[in-house]
């Protein structure tokens, strides 16, 4: 019975986490999008040939620096990172939840999933 109650609490926290994460990232992406469209809205889009993104769109530290210079696209990328972080944060929360429940098997399984994701980032 105790497990059941804690599970419900944990699920509520996770639900809120997902909701606010998506909301926060949408706001940041929208802000970056507005700046981007003001600065580059009149140009011609070029996506036909794959060139790959420049370094400042791939590395979070460089994204941050470019964003501080008032660039819109790195801000969009940061918003996307917030979005990606929400399911990852969900996993991290679950580890804590399983430890509180003393469900060590699932704490270990969840840590493995977390490591697989984080190590490939």
Partner 1 sequence: MTVLVFSGILFAGALAAGLLGSLTGLGGGVVLIPLLTLVFKVDIHYAIGTSLISVIATSSGAAAAYVKEGITNIRLGMFLELATTAGAIGGAFLAGYLPTSVIAIVFGVILILSASLSFARPADPVTTGEDSVLSRKLRLNSSYPTPEGEKHYFVKNVVGGFAMMNIAGVISGLLGIGSGALKVIAMDNIMRIPFKVSTTTSNFMIGVTAAASVGIYLKRGYIDPGLSMPVMLGVLGGAFLGSRMLTRAKTASLKILFAFVILVLAAEMIYNGINHSI
Residues near partner 1 (CB under 8 A) are 7-8, 11-12, 14-16, 18-19, 21-22, 25-26, 29-30, 32-33, 36-37, 40-45, 47-54, 57-58, 72-74, 76-77, 80, 83-84, 86-88, 90-91, 94, 103, 105-106, 109-110, 112-113, 116-117, 120-121
DSSP-H helix ranges across 52-103: 60-68, 72-100
Q: What is the DSSP string of 18-41?
A: HHHHHHHHHHHHHHHHHHHHHHHT
Q: How far is the CB of 13 from partner 1 (least distance, A)?
A: 10
If phi over 0 gives left and psi between -120 and 50 gives alpha, with beta otherwise, what is residue 70?
left
Q: How far is the CB of 100 from partner 1 (least distance, A)?
A: 14
Q: How far is the CB of 44 from partner 1 (least distance, A)?
A: 7
Say if CB 81 and CB 61 are below 8 A apart: no
Q: How far is the CB of 1 from partner 1 (least distance, A)?
A: 13
């Amino acid at each position: 019975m105790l497990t059941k109650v804690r599970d419900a609490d944990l699920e509520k926290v996770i639900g809120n986490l997902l909701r606010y994460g998506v909301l926060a990232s949408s706001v940041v992406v929208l802000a970056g999008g507005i700046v981007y469209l003001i600065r580059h809205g009149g140009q011609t889009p070029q996506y036909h040939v794959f060139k790959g993104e420049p370094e400042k769109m791939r590395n979070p530290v460089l994204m941050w620096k470019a964003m501080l210079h008032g660039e819109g696209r790195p801000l969009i990328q940061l918003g996307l990172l917030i979005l990606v972080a929400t399911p990852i944060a969900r996993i991290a929360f679950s580890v804590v939840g399983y430890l509180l429940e003393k469900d060590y098997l699932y704490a270990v399984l969840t840590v493995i999933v977390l490591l697989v994701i984080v190590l490939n980032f």
